[in-house]
Structure 1
């Protein structure tokens, strides 16, 4: 039994525990508590019905389901909250201890964790760092918002195992412990429907470093460097050459005043924004792996699905799926990265973000624009009212994705590319960005029929 398994026993001993949310993480929590916990009782609370038989839950596990599922929380000593659950009351008004898998796991293993957050790019950077370390023979695990609950890897941990952990704002929101090595990639407007303001969203993200020690390290974008960092800050940029780590023209100038040349013609990651991601991965990994091992792993790294992913060439058009895009900056990066881009598909759920930067970019970038859904309608209307958007004939509107793909097939010149980079969330239209990306791929491939 490793130190985590012993810790979870002491952590829960004699406590009544509620698992709030019984999705992937909630089920992971239950599995560990059932095996190693010493709690007096376990309850599961979820908005949706929980099938006792299908989940093999014994009768002594209390099930609390329905619209009032959060009204029970004060009955318990401890609540393990899943990241996707939004608390209906402020933390200060809840009597029980609100905790989560990430909090407990970090309390045990923070010294061994490389934590990555940011509005965009965190899955790519997390996967790339893990891939480099793993291919170089380092004992490592990948977990977190990437789709693997940290409790799923806890039993296999050793004292020298490195954990590369993707962290969302929801996972960080109530955290009181930070990883020894932290990466804060960037910050754009996102999740304002939940946080209400950029300040609140930023404050949730800050927990990746706020609880670090003075000897810990934070790699952060030079644009979000602040005075409240308690650790060693390493600034990173692809625009500011005064940053500690600066990347330009495929060359990384790292924090040791050395250079690393990205093998641009051999890697599969498109775009200069990915050079920024590679620069961070290099600086994080360089003291753990040899340069030739880093390069070999970088060249064998496959881009993640729905992130500037090449789909197919149909109707003489190269199609790219960038469904992960939910911000102006990512749509702009897509246009700058996709080769010979002729058309972009924009729009989805309207979360109220400011689309002025994207509209300003589109005004000067010669590309056909197909707007769709609620946020696409807002972008379309903004363009129609702008006097400096000279050629409005290249801007179109389609109600939904299927119509947008058909229209793109008609107006994109043969030999050019079309990218779906929505700059908007998928919720309310699709289950998530993965489902949206899969739907896009299916529609593209059906064009050949």
Structure 2
């Protein structure tokens, strides 16, 4: 990873113009004012360009309880979405005249403590007080699916049936229109898309873009999920970020490449193990120590543990960690160290909320730095086997609960309760596996 300290002229000019002026200059007719709740649901309203001035000044009201996991009851005051002009993103490839802007939810004039973007921004600000900046890259994996005549979920490409489809040239070419539209959109926005490929499972793809500061990367993950989904729908497909839609196939990850910087200088390169600095090694040690609790955020669904718990797949590899290990350029590890500039955290899946994932990773890593932890064999060798185990680990991890509660109290408990409820809702559901095994067994 190399540091680009240059500033594009259009970025300077954009910073001097109002959101409405930028939208009008780009021929935008509607602005999608978007934010996500704690579970990653994308919530938005369409704002006509004629109302963008007032939107930028006053925000846009939402009934908070209707949003879902945002810490509100029906009688609570409105959640007001305040736009971040720096995140303004024209999206003519999705709809002509459309642009998107990420928002920070507020309640009664204060940043709302249950809002994932607000949580990450608070932790990044605390890191800046220490003259530290977290940079991140993200690998976005997903499936393109449809339903067959019997209503079964199948890969959208009916010819995508090979037992080892990863990097298959013909499968990628059959999805050329979709992949190139996504790539062109990313590059038109200056993201630096550099790779688009067929992944290890039938119907699975990955599209990569350059790393950036952590907040920008988290915004781009959410924007990319939106763009990928919309462009897939336009071609009669569904893009799913469900971690493991097929039991016999590899699941989808959200691998995060992390590094710390200070005043434009990379802090990870050094003379220690794997060419890393003492700071980097302690950061990695923090990630390992807090791995069990972090998994409740990195793998936030019941389905997530079908991915990390998989023993084998049709291709012969799961590409997801089962144990909390670290090593060099080895994709079987929880923490992969491809070079001295970064560490790849491989436990996150495609359902992970990128704001929360980066928030807990930053907090865990900096705890390792503060406590000068040694990078040794981790105390907890296995990842939690279920969402409930991960939630239990989260609730007993003071560093991670403090990270989620960084803007105000109650967020960690609220998140843990929702995730526990999700587990038990699944656990009390009678499914085909149980009927197949028990219906006439006794």
**If the TM-score is normalised by the length of the shorter chain, which range does it land in?**
under 0.3
So what's the TM-score if we normalise by structure 1?
0.25
So what's the TM-score if we normalise by structure 2?
0.26
- The structure having more radius of gyration, on CA atoms, is 1
